[in-house]
Structure formats: structure tokens, C-alpha cells
Structure 1
Amino acid sequence: MSTVEEPDVRTWNFPRGTASVAVMVEFAREHGVPSERILAGTGLSGPQLADPDAQIPAETELAVVRNLLREVTGVPALGVEVGRRYRISTFGIFGYACVTSPTLREAISLALRYYRLGFAFCTPIVESRPREVVTWIHHDTIPADVQRFLAERDIVAMHRVMSDLLGARVDFTRAEFAYPATDQAERLEALFGIRPQFDRAHTVFGIDPDLLAQPLPQANQPTWAVCVAQCRDLLHRRSARTGIAAEVRDRLLPGSGATGFTAPPSFDALARTLNMSPRTLRRHLDAAGTSYRVLLDEVRQTLAEEMLTATPLSVDDIAIRLGYAEATPFIHAFKRWTGTTPAAYRRTVRE
């Protein structure tokens, strides 16, 4: 039997911090390229890169990547070398939440839950099987001119972070890439502990499932709880909605009908109420870095937390009011949003 976990959003087009850009600027500087050339056309400056609260559109980071590829030449396996520069500290409070997690499994689940606090452009789907944990790397929506660089950067960064979390190098059980081979195979083998395969149907890597249960060297339950709360607050602030996203979110709020609570509208019904086609609405939401699913989850999480905190409603009643047919899918969704069950959340906030 296998289980599948995926990020809270299936797009790379979300606002992000500047720490990733700072990594690439520093890498370029070490290779003789001044920061002005790497930041050309982005409107970014040095002080902004040091501001932990600064946010930039994903397209701005793509512009930095394109500048890096143009300006830094003669470096073999550029995506691999840049990916090796990403460490736990690069990710700020998000990174500290991962490093203080009880196990690698918990850290991976948290990383997927707060995916938008990272810098990846690839979408990782993690499938836990009895004999292997397989991570499917989706990079087909990334612009073609930067796709390979970002795929290699993101995978190497993931490998580096997992190794940092465990305090020892993680050897992959497989490493496959959905594009032609290059002269980077030996470098990747030295990093991953296995010879990579190219021209495969999918980009994917695997690890030993026993690694998931290993306690992390810096696990600390009280610190972890504080860091997770800060991640949740940070994500809420970054997710403040305006424009079409705000309008969609407002219309997803359940109302009271003649028979009581009414479920949120379907995507197609929502598009009709906004006088646009589903395709047009989807395009507008993509441009805003979000989706119907993400906005619906945000609304449901907010309402669920309010009802668990301020009402005596049972978990079954809350599930029905949020548009679920029964409690089980709501409990699974709530754990994906918050890392805990509705009952445990209610006990915590009332203590």
C-alpha cells in the first residue's frame, strides 16, 4: 500500500522571498559577475535581498535565473552547483521548522504543507511505498529556456536539505531525468550515490523508506511548535488576497440558505457567477499565483479553525458546514493544512 503527499499548491507562480535570489547573486559574484548584472531588469537592489520580509513575484526570480545563465559561463553543471548552495538556513523560519521536526517524515510533510514558503519551481509529489519513497518532480510548466537549470537546482537543493536534516549524506535509490543526458552524470553520481538515468519518461528520485522514521539530530518539540505557528502566520500574511483572488475567496465563503448552511459553489458555477468562462477564470487565478483549490482550502481552514475555537459544534457538524459529505475527508484535509487533527487542534487552543 502506498500513500501520496503533494504541495499545498500545484503552480510555481506564487510570491516568494528574496533569499533564493541572494544565493544566486552570491554565486555569480564568486565567479566574477557583479550583482548589478544578475539583477538587471528586476528592479531589485542589495538591501532588498537582505530583507527577510521582502516578497517578489516568481517571474522576477526567473529573470534572475536567465541573467545568471547568460552571465555565468564556463561553469559545468551550473544548476547542480547552484543547488548545492541551498542550506537549511536559506529558508529562514521555514527551515528551522523542518530541522526541529521529530523525523524526516514530519519534515517532508511540513515542507509540502508550507511549499509556498520555499523557492522551488518544480512540483514534488511524494509517494511512500513499502520498499521505496519516490518523489515525482513535475517541471513541465516551467519555461523551456530555464527548465533544466531549475530542475537540477531544485533536486540538488532538496537532496542537500535532506542530508542536512539527517546530519549525513542521503543516497538516492534512483535518479531519473526526463531529458537527454549531459556531461553532468558523474557529478550527479558523486552527490546522489547512484548513477543517474536520462531520457526517462519522468523526472523522479527515490530514497530508502527507513530514512523517514529516523529522529532528526536537532528535533525539539517546543521549538518545532513555535516555528510551525510562525510559518502558518507568515503564509497567511503572504496569502492576503486582492483582485480576482479576493473576489473568488469571498464567493467561496459558505452562506445560510433556506435549509441551513450551503456548500461552496463548484468551479464552473463560480465562473458563471463572475460572468466568465472556466478557462478565463483559471487563467486569471494562475496569473494571481493561486487556484480554486488553494482558495477553497484557505476558506475552509479559516472557518474550521474559527468553529473549533469558538463553537461547541462536533467535528461531524463542522465537516458538513464546510461542504464535506462526512468527517473523514475533512479530518484528512485539516491535518494536511495544519499538521494536526481537528480534535487535537481544539484541545490545544482551549488549554
Structure 2
Amino acid sequence: MLEQSLQNSSPTGRLDDHVLPTHISVILLDLLNEEGIREKDVLEGTGLRTDDLRQHSCYIRYQQALQMVDNAIRLSTQTGLGLMVGQREKTSSWGILGFTMASCATLGDAIDVGKQYYQTSEALVDLDFILDGEDIVLRCFPPYPIGKLLHFVVEDALASIYLVFSSWLESPLNLKEIRLAYTRPEYAQLYEELFPCPIHFDCASNDMVFSANDLNRPLLQADPVTAQQCQRFLESQAAEQGHSTDLVRNIRRILLRNPGRFPNMESVAEQLNTSASSMRRHLLHKGLTYQQILDDVRATLSIEYLENTNLSLDDISQLAGFSDSSNFRRAFKRWTGHPPSHYR
């Protein structure tokens, strides 16, 4: 249930602290309007009004967005709503970050800008771009356990990124494969119609893999003056929002990147350009330890696998960083207060 997933949301990453722009919510309202579904029914339980959502300056809480998605899935007669929303997104849907990326010289430059300023344009998932030999792996992961809504947020992210990136190029992105950390849905043919590549379900992570050669491809809307102007704005926006000081969230993002291969505190500190002792002091000031954050991330991933995949308990144990399932069961009970079977 949505309530169960939200109640078990991360103690080291609070839902109320995570706010989003409203473009996905507006697209969702429009889609359901076309089905004849009233906007007030889609907004039930959110405390939001339609007029608020359609103001460009409006931001909503992550939990409000999830409640809207949950309502929409329940009310709609259509399947694959996440894919449908993602297909309606454009460069403008990503705000100033989208325009900045589109005006870069190459796709690689655009991705570098996106990685640097991604958190100035919050989304339902966090993203990471990983160079893996001749491939680029775009990995997306929700920052909190969201249960059955995982399908929607991943579908939206992958569909929008594939189509928006492709719109910046002479020809579409060269997709190689898509890997999804949930069971094959009944409407899987919609994935096959949209993505021209092999699609695998019940995987360890949610990845879209494309050719590293695409990084050097020029963008159709390249404009160095616009890129420079927009980037200055993003820099000031990032400074105002203070994302660079959000230590706990940055640690969580690093840990969520590589299920089953969690780095130690020294390695994480190095990636954040700080020392382990400095990171430890900052965490203690917040009343936290690195081990608490690591356990919280392990619990988050484990709940997602239990609720959304057919992976065996042994497989999930490995992905949570345990060599055997008995130790995993004990740790999971300590983290959540419930045995793994409670979520499956």
C-alpha cells in the first residue's frame, strides 16, 4: 500500500523536505481530464488546488505528488500512465535546466550540466550516469520506498529522458537495453513499442543503457551564449537552495547507485571531496552516523525489491550487502520492525 511505503520512508531523508515543480502533476491532470475524470478526484487527499498547480512558481511536496499518482492509477482505465506522462514531457518541462542542457554543444556536455545541476530541478527519481566501457548507463532510483508506484516514476523518467534527449539530436538515442527492478507488467508491450531495444525485468536496478558514442553527437539547438547565461542562473539557484550542503542526501545518492556494492565511509567522503573525519563530525551534528544512513538505504532497496520484483530472498540478501539470507532476515527485522515476508 502507498501508506505502508510512506510510513516506512527513510528516517535519514524526510519526505517533507523534498519538493518538486508541478509539470508532471499538470500533465497527469490533463491526461485524466481527457478520460472525463474530475481534477478534484485526482487531487483528493493532497490538500492541493488546481489553480495552485498551474502556477509556474508553485512547488509541491514529494508525498503530495505520490498521492496524486496513486489516485490517478486508481481512477484511470489506462495502463502505463508513467510512459504516457513521460511521452508528453518536453525540454520546457525540465525548466531552466532543460534549456541549459539543450543549448550545450554536445550530448556529453548536456549530461555534464545535468549531473552538476540536477537537484535544482527536483524530480520523482534521482539519476546517475555511469560510464561502463562503450556504454552509458542511466540509472534511476527513487529516494524513498514508494512501493507499487515504482513503475510509474521509472516509466516517466525513462520515457521522458529518451524522447527529450532524442529531440536534441539528428536521430534518436542509440539505446542498447533497458533493465528494470520490477516484475514484467501486463502492458509490457507498451515498453516494446516505445523503446527500440531489449527490455529486461526483475533486475537489480532501473537502467537505460545507450552507446557512449552518443556523448560526442552535436545538439541541434546548441547556443554557447544561451548555455553560459543559463548556467550562471543555475549556479545562483543552486547556491540559494544549498544543495551542496545537503550531506545526508548526497551520501544516500552515492549508496543507492550500486546495490550490493556499498562503499565504506572513507570512499564516500572522497567522492564528496571531504575527509571521513569531517563527514563524521557533520553527521554527528545532525544526530546521525554513516552506519544509520547505510542501513536506511539497505532497507529502502530491500523493500523495493520485495514489493516490486520476483527476486528470491537470497538474491535480495546479496543486493542488500549480505552473504546469507539468515543475517539479512535479522537485519531487516531490526531496520523495519517486520520480517521480509510482511512486504511480499
What TM-score, normalized by structure 1, do the two folds share? 0.64
C-alpha distance in structure 2 between counterparts of 1:153 and 1:129, whole Å: 24
Are 2:200 and 1:182 aligned?
no
> Number of residues paired by the alignment?
257
Give the equivalent residue in structure 1 for 2:101. Answer: 98
CA contact (8 A) 1:188 1:195 kept: no
Letter in 2 for 1:228: Q
> What SS is found at the alignment partner of 1:20?
helix
Q: Which has the larger radius of gyration?
A: 1
Are 2:211 and 1:208 aligned?
yes
C-alpha distance in structure 2 between counterparts of 1:179 and 1:273, whole Å: 37
C-alpha distance in structure 2 between counterparts of 1:235 and 1:273, whole Å: 23
Letter in 2 for 1:173: K
> What SS is found at the alignment partner of 2:200?
coil
Give the equivalent residue in structure 2 for 1:289. Answer: none
Give the equivalent residue in structure 2 for 1:68. Answer: 72
CA contact (8 A) 2:126 2:143 kept: no
CA contact (8 A) 2:176 2:198 kept: no
Structural mapping, 1:184-333, within 5 Å: 184-239=187-242, 266-273=278-285, 276-278=287-289
Gap regions ≥5 residues in structure 1: 1-9, 246-262, 287-351
CA contact (8 A) 2:103 2:226 kept: yes
CA contact (8 A) 1:124 1:137 kept: yes
Give the equivalent residue in structure 2 for 1:126. Answer: 129
C-alpha distance in structure 2 between counterparts of 1:55 and 1:273, whole Å: 29
C-alpha distance in structure 1 between counterparts of 2:137 and 2:282, whole Å: 36
C-alpha distance in structure 1 between counterparts of 2:143 and 2:244, whole Å: 27
Q: Residue 41 of structure 2 is aligned with which of 37, 46, 52?
A: 37
Q: Residue 153 of structure 2 is aligned with which of 141, 145, 150?
A: 150
Give the equivalent residue in structure 2 for 1:332. Answer: none
Q: In angstroms, what is the RMSD of aligned CA positions?
A: 3.3
Cα gap change, 1:58/1:102 in structure 2, threshold over 3 Å: closer, same or farther?
Answer: same
Cα gap change, 1:52/1:132 in structure 2, threshold over 3 Å: closer, same or farther?
Answer: same
C-alpha distance in structure 1 between counterparts of 2:89 and 2:27, whole Å: 7
Give the equivalent residue in structure 1 for 2:80. Answer: 77
CA contact (8 A) 1:11 1:123 kept: no
Give CA deviations for 1:266-292 in whole Å, capped at 9, x if unaligned: 343335456x35379969xx9xxxxxx
C-alpha distance in structure 2 between counterparts of 1:183 and 1:272, whole Å: 47
How far is 1:265 from its partner?
Answer: 6.1
Letter in 2 for 1:120: A
Cα gap change, 1:54/1:232 in structure 2, threshold over 3 Å: closer, same or farther?
Answer: farther
How far is 1:32 from its partner?
Answer: 1.4
C-alpha distance in structure 2 between counterparts of 1:75 and 1:21, whole Å: 17
How far is 1:49 from its partner?
Answer: 2.1
C-alpha distance in structure 2 between counterparts of 1:125 and 1:90, whole Å: 19
Q: Residue 52 of structure 1 is aligned with which of 50, 56, 66?
A: 56
Cα gap change, 1:37/1:234 in structure 2, threshold over 3 Å: closer, same or farther?
Answer: farther
How far is 1:149 from its partner?
Answer: 1.4
C-alpha distance in structure 2 between counterparts of 1:223 and 1:192, whole Å: 31
Identity %: 21
> What SS is found at the alignment partner of 1:84?
helix
CA contact (8 A) 2:280 2:290 kept: no
Q: Residue 164 of structure 2 is aligned with which of 156, 161, 164?
A: 161
What TM-score, normalized by structure 2, do the two folds share? 0.66
Gap regions ≥5 residues in structure 2: 1-12, 249-274, 298-344
